[in-house]
Structure formats: C-alpha cells, structure tokens
Structure 1
C-alpha cells in the first residue's frame, strides 16, 4: 500500500524561495521535490529522511537504487514492509504503543497522517528512540525553552540532540518479540541514539535477535544486565548483507550472570550487525535489559574510500604530502585510494596508528583501465601496533592505487595513511 510521505505544508514553510518562484500548490511542491529538491538535499518531511533510509537498508542501496527510487520505495513499500522512514517514526511501533489507534484499525497511511497532524502535538511516542515528554523532562534547558511544545522538541532532537547525545527515551519493551533467527530480527535501523530494551528469553523463546546499522566507523558498546539466570550476549557482522550468520561472522560472545553484566565494547567498521541474546541452557529463562551505544571514530576522509579500484577515493594528482585517517574492519576490509603522478617522482607511503595487523598494497594502473590486472602489483608493507609500514620507491608518470586491507576478517582498526610524492 502506497503511503504519501511528502509533507507539502512542511516543504512550503521550510523553503519560502519556492513561493517566490510561483511554486505554491501541493502538487507543484511535490513535483519540485521529485525534479530538483531531492538532489539538492531538501527535506520533504519532518520525520522521514532519505539518507537515514539509505543507510538503514543496505539491501536497497546495494541494489543500486537512486535517491528518487529510494523515495519511491519508501512510499510504495517501505512502511508496509515495516521499514523505518526515520529515527522518530516507526508505524509498527506507533500502532503497538497507542492502543486507541490500534483499536481504530488505522492503516499505515492513516498512521502517518495521524502522526503528522495530531500525534506529535499530543506528545505521543512513535519510535523506540524518541519520547518527546522524556526528552523535555530529561533536558531542563529545553524544557525551559520549549515548555511542552513537542514539535520544537522533535526538531531540536533531529538537528542537535542526536549529535549532542541527549537522553531521548527510557528503557522500553520492543514493539514485537525479537525473532530467534537473524532473518526475523528486531530491526533498529541506523543506530543514532542510546536505547535500552527490556525483554526476556527462555522456553520456548531461547533467543532474541536485534539488527543495527552503523553508518560510519564506530565504537559500539553493548551491555546486558538485569538477569535472573546465566544469559549470553553475542555480536555478529553480516559481512555480505544476506540476513544470515555464516562461519567467521561471530565477533564476540560474553555470558552474564545474575550478579554480573555481560558487556561488549568494540571498534567496528560501518555496516550491518546482529546482536543475539540467548539463554544459558535449554531449560533456563531470564528477563534482561539490553543497552546500545555507538560513538563515531574520527576519520578525515570526505567519504569512505571504496572497497574496489572503481570506487577508490580519488586523491587526483599527488604533489607533496596527503594524510588520511580512516578505518578498516570486518564489514569494510579494503580502502582503496587512487592517485596520479604527472612525471617521475620519489614516492613514499607510511601506514601507522593501527591496533591490529593491516597491509598497504601499491598497484600501478599500467593500461589506465581503472582496475587491477595481473602484473600491476608493485609493493606491499605491513603495519602493526608496534611497527610502521612504509614503501619508498621511484614511480613514473601514471595512475596508481593504494589498497589498505585488514589482515584477517576479525581485524577492526583505525589507521593513519601518509602519501608523499
């Protein structure tokens, strides 16, 4: 069922330049967004976000959907497939926690319209990540500034609160029971806040799977507590985004007890991850409290260097020294850089600042076809926590690639790369 997520009144108010250009009707505003606004990065809704949708559902971006196609998918299929259009609205959750709306048998489109027109003004909760009343009461400066204006609270949360790490929700139960397989996991989308979920595992529901997306290299912290019997917390990386756990994708496993927490803290590349809460034995059961938190790891690249030569970060002509700080890990093992030399140069590469084994490989694109062919490998250097990797050699005019690659699938580390010519 198609759901109209374009909010003409919001778009009209946010962009007064359109009225000056004679674009005033709802139909004209929507057409402007589809023709130009979406590529210009204009917002079309108070709560739906194309960028959030793209990062939260890599199956769509991996399928090559453009921003226009992502918007079309969001409206035509996304809500019906229980996908989140943004961090503050989840139709399934809105229905689950507002019993009057569930009893009224509102469709997904009606739920969207209700939230846009009434729900937020009434202070209703539409997402596990944002409770407008909690947000205002937990942040006295905002309460003093906004009173009980929930629309201003939501606006502040999206524009500043997430970045500032402000408290935005209380521990809550999932809207539906997390499934006992990755394919039926409880989808949390892109992890932008620090939610805590309370639930239980036991016979006949021994496992609860959650799925999160990290949209950038991050330090992930998971804490499992409130246990009445031994319970294990597991972390997996969905390296190939196939919604299944395969050999080599388990990253951590820690068991908590009634008197001790189970905690996982790990630096991870951007990507898709599963968290599994599982009972300690087939006959045991336990309630639990599971907390999530992720903080971005600093990088200096404008965008993530691609994992293939075709998607390499383009350094362009290398003259002097360029330095980069980025990250490689289980879901992003390769970072490719492309540079060009206009004449014969003395080239130096330095790789440092790693917490595990990482290798730098240098290739020459001798036939300028943008790919790496047999015979184009030139040199390699390894770096470790106690040693710097370096390459020094004379290179002729031409195009070159540097590949920074983690030595094993379980390596997750930042690195510092210096290129000089």
Structure 2
C-alpha cells in the first residue's frame, strides 16, 4: 500500500480554448512518472465552460500501476485553463493480490489457526477470488473486516456454486460460519458499491470424530467376538479419555486382541 501524490500542471504548449495538462506522479517508491493524455484534447469534461474549483473525471493513458482515470480538482486562471502546481490530490492504491476469476483464484492456507489476507475491491477490480483445500472435515470460519464501502463475500464449492453468503449493508463486517467436508472451496469477495480495502480472516477447526464406544462400564459398546477377526475403529484423547467395549463368549476359547493405528 502506498500513497500517490498527483500535481496537475499547465503544459504551456497550447494557448487556445484550453491548455493540455500533464500529470506528474510521485510515488512512495521514490520515482516519478509522467503521464500524458491518450489523445490530445481527449481529457473528459475540459471545455471553455468548465467551472473553476469543480471536479471532473480525466481520462488518462494507462501506466502499469496507475488507474486509467482519477477525479481531480481543477483551477482556471485568465485564459490558461490550468496553472502550474495549482492543484494537489492524493489517494491510496494497492497491488491486486487476489485473482479475478475462479480459474486463477489465489491459493491460500486455511487451518486451525487464523490466517489473514488484505486486498481491495472496487469499480475497476470488482471481484477477488481465493481457493483453499481441507484435508479433513472442519468448522470453517470467515471474517471480512476493515471496509470503508460495501463489500460482500460468498463461499463456493469446487464446482463454483455458492453454498454460503454474507451480504450485510454498508461497511459492516461480513461473516460466514459453516461445517465443511474435506475438499476444495473458493471464496469470492466483491464490491457492492464504492471502492474499499478489506481484511479477510479464515480458519477451520478440525471436527472431533464421532465417539462410538461408551465412556463407562455401564455404557460399554456391545461387540461380537467369534472365530473370525472383527475390527472396530474409534478414538481417545483429552476430551474422550476412555472407550469401553463388552462381549460375551458362549464357550471357552483362546482370545486374541490387537490395538493398532495410533498416532499418540
């Protein structure tokens, strides 16, 4: 994010209906660029009836980092339409980090801890798309904050269909909370009105596995034990410290038990 300071000045080339201005851009990167009109006399709104101290939209040649148009205040002085160094405006601009289509969506990480991403949307960058994948099911949380205009957000599945939205008005924060299965998903941030920066925060807490076995002798899970091997899968941890099973044998036998597949 950096400020761009614009000085509007008289080119002192023509002296008929109006002077052709040049736009000197001084960026926070310590460089200056000179931007001239695409076609001479093609600046929008400039004619002999233009009112001093008013604001018009000037169409400029597009240069790598600068937008193709910007609202500027203008002053007139006698027969010179613009006078040197008579006007100053500034605005903030940011590099577009997120892509504008599903096919080119920006890949982001979504895990148990919150990750944040900052970008902007507006009239010249209406959509920002993000892509993420979950290896396991999880409780997904999304927050969109820091807006100064109205931006909304959608959650899409791997096919690009909308599965959840947050459409609050104005600059109010947006939020989506949803349980997601393992797979690939997309996020679309888009402007409803105006231009705004935003902060996108995302996380997905893993879901606890379903506890199939009982936690006490009284609630032990009934299983079958016979001449062929039967397997049962479950889990234990800090929130489920015990799993109990019960079985009945009709006759005496050699009992075999194996416990495998642990990660802790």
TM-score between both structures, scaled by the size of structure 1: 0.35
CA displacement at 1:271 relative to structure 2: 2.8
Matched, 1:312 2:105: yes
Per-residue CA deviations over 1:8-29 (Å, capped at 9, x if unaligned) read xxxxxxxxxxxxxxxxxxxxxx
- RMSD over aligned Cα, in angstroms? 4.8
Structure showing the higher helix proportion among its residues: 1
Aligned to 2:90: 294
CA contact 2:115–2:203 (8 Å) conserved in 1 = yes
Structure 2 gap segments, 5+ residues each: 45-49, 205-264
Which of 1 and 2 has higher RCO (CA within 8 Å, sep 6+)?
2
> Could you report, residue by residue, the CA deviation over 1:56-101 in whole angstroms, capped at 9, with x for unpaired residues?
xxxxxxxxxxxxxxxxxxxxxxxxxxxxxxxxxxxxxxxxxxxxxx
Tell me what 1:417 maps to.
200
2:51 aligns with 230
Aligned length: 184
Cα 1:362–1:325 shift into 2, 3 Å: same
CA apart distance, 1:321 = 1.1
1:311 CA displacement: 2.4
Correspondence for 1:337: 130
- Which residue of the partner structure matches residue 393 of structure 1? 178
Name which of 138, 158, 162 aligns with 1:377. Answer: 162
- Name the CA shift for 1:172/1:288 in 2 (closer, same or farther; >3 Å): closer
| Aligned 8 A contact 2:8 2:22 in 1 | no
**1:310 is paired with a residue of what secondary structure?**
coil
User: In structure 2, do the counterparts of structure 1 residues 171 and 275 end up closer, same or farther at CA, with 3 Å as the change threshold?
Assistant: closer
Q: Relative to structure 1, is the Cα distance of residues 330 and 287 closer, same or farther in structure 2, using a 3 angstrom cutoff?
A: same
2:43 aligned partner: 209
Cα deviation 1:363-395 (Å, max 9, x = unaligned): 0114xxxxx3xxx21111024456321111111
Larger relative strand fraction: 2
Structure label with greater radius of gyration: 2
How much has 1:347 moved relative to structure 2? 0.4
C-alpha distance 291-312 of structure 1, shift in aligned 2 (>3 A): farther
Q: Deviation at 1:317?
A: 5.1
Segments of structure 1 that go 5 or more residues without pairing to the other structure are 1-162, 198-204, 211-228, 243-268, 367-371
